[in-house]
Amino acid sequence: MTVSEKICSSLRTGENNAVSLAEMCSISGLDNRHTRLVIEDLRRKGTVICSSDKGYFYPANVPELRRYVRKEKSRSNSIDLTLKAAERLLDDWGGEIY
């Protein structure tokens, strides 16, 4: 069984059944960073894995999924705002952003 399969099979449905990062590390045999990278890869490949202060879980209903989407959108917006000044400076210096 691959690490991705171990993680997917250990996730439970519903925030009340969330699996903590520490538990995920124990299951995967990886450290925090590498466990989070595997979860990120699974998400990018289309697996919907929600997270909260309680841990990782599959959404059980619309409100859980909505909370997760809102949280991630907020993080994304915050990162965009943080980068604005650096992008302006890069533009002033004549550098390409991408």
pLDDT digits (tens, 9 = 90+) for 67-84: 999 999 999 999 999 999
* Helix residue ranges, H only, 52-96: 62-92
Indicate the domain borders of the chain: 3-92
- Say whether pTM exceeds 0.75: yes
Phi-psi region of 44 (alpha: psi -120 to 50; beta: other; left: phi over 0): alpha
* Distance between CA atoms of residues 59 and 64, nearest Å: 6
pLDDT tens digits, one per residue of 4-60: 999 999 999 999 999 999 999 999 999 999 999 999 999 999 999 999 999 999 999
DSSP conformational letter for 21: H
3-92: what CATH class? mainly alpha
Tell me how long the chain is. 98
